[in-house]
Each structure stands twice: as C-alpha cells, then as structure tokens.
Amino acid sequence: MPALSRKNRERIIVLQFIIPALIVIGIFILFPISKAIVMAFQEWVLTSASPDHPFVGLDNFREVFSLTHFSTMMGNTLVYTLGSVAGKMIVGLAVALLLNRKFTGRGIVRGLMLIPWAMPMVVVTNVFRIALDPNYGLFNSMLSALPFVDGPIQFFSNGTVALTTLVGIGIWKNFPFISLMLLAALQSVPQDYYDAASIDGAGNIQQFRRITWPLIKPIWNTLMILQILWTVKEFELIYLITQGGPNNGTNIIGIDIYLNAFRFYKIGAANAEGVLLLLFCLIFAVIYFRSMHKKGEAV
C-alpha cells in the first residue's frame, strides 16, 4: 500500500473527528427535516388504507390558511414572541446593570439567578398553575392582599389575560440567562473607560450611552436573535398550562402544529404549518450566521 500523502492523512484525521456528528445530524435532523418539507405537499390521511401519499400541491397550505382560528393563531404568535422577547431583553438588561454594581451579597444574588434557568419547564408550569389558581393559589392570595387588587384574579379564563400571563412567565424563566450573558459582557468593559468619563464630567446616562451600550450591543443583538428563534417555537410552557385555550386565546404556532398532528391527526396541515415556521426560523438563522461571521472571530 502506498504511503498516504500528508494532505490526505490530515483529511482522514479530520473526517474521523467529525464523522459521528455528521452521521447523527444527518439521520436524526437533516433526514426528518427534508421529510417534513416533502410531507407538507402530500396528502396524509392516517385513516385511509392506501400506503402511498399522493402529492397535492399547495392543498395543505390552503387548509391551514382556511382554518377558522388561523388569524388568531398567527396574531397570538406575533404578540407572544414580540412581548416575550422585548420583556426578556429589557428586564435582562436592567437586572444586568443592577448586578454590575458593587454591593454586599452580589455573589448570592447571582447564584439565585440560576434558579429560573435550572428549573425544568414541567415544574415551572405546575408551580404557576397552582400558585395562580383563583380558588387556592398562594400567589393569588398574596396578590389579593394588596390594596388595589379586588379579589382573586382569573389568570387563565380569558384569552388576553392568559396570553399576558404566559408572556410574564416566559420572561421570568428566561431573563436571568440574558442578564448573566450581558453581565459577562459588562464585566469585560475596562473600568478605566468609566473613570476617564467621570473625570470628563459624563453622567450615568451619558456613560451608558457612550461607553456601555456600544460595547455590549453586538452581544445584545445576538442574544435577541437567539431569543426570537427560541420564543417563536414555544411549546411546553403554553401547552402544559393552557393547551392553547381558552378558545384558542393562547394558541401559538408551536401549539397548533402539535395539536393538529397528535390530537386531530391533520398531518398534512401540521407539516404545512411546520414549513411556515421553518421558513421564518431559516431567515433569522441566516441573519444570525451572518452576524457571527461579520465579527470575523470564530471560524
């Protein structure tokens, strides 16, 4: 056997390192995605005996658009994503700035920030379901004790109130992650910058606008894109509390796909919705990938 050239030997080593990941991603991710896209254009009636699924063009998409709750669902998805992402980013930044100041017990508070991040979603939803219960909820009873609250609040019986509550829970679960990431960025800002600015007489707000913000903005942008991608597909938080109800009031696209596929067995429609969601995510993934490259670090 002839000796391999140096270049080929290197290629083989690289291949050895990446081949398991390639196989796993190929079988478990790329193959199902391509199948989902194909399925969106096929007829899928689980009850019919015929094993082949004829192509039906855009019929599945037409079915989705003609769903009576389609516009409600899309509206909810938009409101939920915007509200939740805006809330997480703003609260996240505010708390990061707060924790960036020097105070006794800072390490403890930073440790506490990991609790919402570490709590499994199933647990979070159970806790809020009971804590917000109008008849015996602990949180509700604490709220009722406040002077301006008139009796227990029905958190999940009205669509708008329920959606707002879910946005709030989503913010609670995720803002600590944002804060910790922004805090890591804030702490890499050299103290000299602030000292110099103070000498020049710049106030707090001016220091934030001129020094802090420009330095953390790239990370803020990346975090926001990631949050949009993670929030638009929210499933467990909503499904485990309201299952999309009352009256589709909290039905967002992730919920609708799950319900269509696994409760109503409208496989075609579910896949068509999946393709719509996938398109949306791809657009943001490309933006994310580009912003990663523009900074020219990584690869």
Partner 1 sequence: MTLKRSLQRVLLYSAIIIVSILITIPFIIMLSYSFRASHDIFSLEIGLIPKNPTLDAYRNALFDYRFSGHGFARWSINSILTCGIATFFAIFFAAMSGYAISRFRFTGKKVLWFLIALTQTIPWIIILIPYYITISRMGLANNLIILGMTYMAVFLPTSAWLFVGFFNNIPYEMEEAAKIDGCSPWGIFFRIIIPLSATSISAIALVAFVTGWGDFLFASVFLKRASLWTLPLGLTSFRGEHLIQWSEIMAMSAIVTVPIVVLFIYLQKYLVDLMAGGVKQ
Q: Binding to partner 1 (CB under 8 A): which residues in 221-280? A: 222-223, 226, 229, 232-233, 235-236, 239-240, 254, 257-258, 261-262, 267, 270-271, 274-275, 277-278
**x/- contact string, 57-86, with partner 1 (CB under 8 A)?**
------------------------------
* Nearest to partner 1 of 85, 181 (CB atom): 181
Put residue 63 in one of left, alpha, beta given phi > 0 → left and psi -120 to 50 → alpha.
Answer: alpha
Task: Quote the CA–CA distance of 287 and 225 in Å, as a whole number.
Answer: 8
d(CA 290, CA 296): 10
Q: Alpha-carbon distance 218 to 202, whole Å?
A: 23
Q: Closest separation between CB of residue 250 and partner 1, Å?
A: 16
| 143 is an interface residue for partner 1 by CB under 8 A | no
**Least distance (Å) from partner 1 to the CB of residue 34?**
9
Least gap, CB of 46 to partner 1 (angstroms): 9
* Phi, psi at 42, each rounded to 5°: -115, 160
Q: Least Å distance between CB 211 and partner 1?
A: 19
- Least CB distance to partner 1 at residue 178 (A): 10
- Output the 3-class SS for 158-170: CHHHHHHHHHHHH
Can you read off the two tokens belonging to residue 182? 């922004």
Across the strands, what pairs with 55? 42
Question: Please, which residue, 152 or 246, has the CB nearer to partner 1?
Answer: 152
The reply to whether 207 sits near partner 1 by the rule CB under 8 A is no
DSSP letter at 264? Answer: S
Q: Which of residues 96-115 bind partner 1 (CB under 8 A)?
A: 98, 101, 103, 105, 109-115
- The answer to whether 158 and 172 are in contact (CB under 8 A) is no
At residue 60, what are phi and psi to the nearest 5 degrees? -60, -40
Interface of this chain with partner 1, residues 162 to 181, rule: CB under 8 A: 172, 176-177, 180-181
Residue placing its CB nearer to partner 1 in the complex, 58 or 112: 112
Distance CA 45, CA 272 (A): 14
x-or-dash string of contact with partner 1, 24-63, rule CB under 8 A? xx-xxxx-xx-xx--x------------------------
Give backbone dihedrals phi and psi of 12, rounded to 5 degrees, phi first: -65, -40
C-alpha–C-alpha distance, residues 99 and 120, integer Å: 25
User: Which residue among 130, 196, 213, 264 contacts partner 1 (CB under 8 A)?
Assistant: 130
- φ, ψ of residue 105 to 5 degrees: the values are 85, 15
Task: Please identify, using beta-carbon distances, which residue of 86 and 121 lies nearer to partner 1.
Answer: 121
Stretch that binds partner 1, among 54-62, 81-89, 182-190, 191-199 (CB under 8 A): 182-190
Residue 4 vs 33, nearer CB to partner 1: 33
Which lies closer to partner 1 via its Cβ, residue 172 or residue 194?
Answer: 172
Asked whether position 4 contacts partner 1 by CB under 8 A, the answer is no
* Nearest distance in Å: CB 123, partner 1: 4
Burial (CB < 10 A; 0-12, 13-18, 19+), residue 266, is buried
The tokens of 258 are what?
């799950």
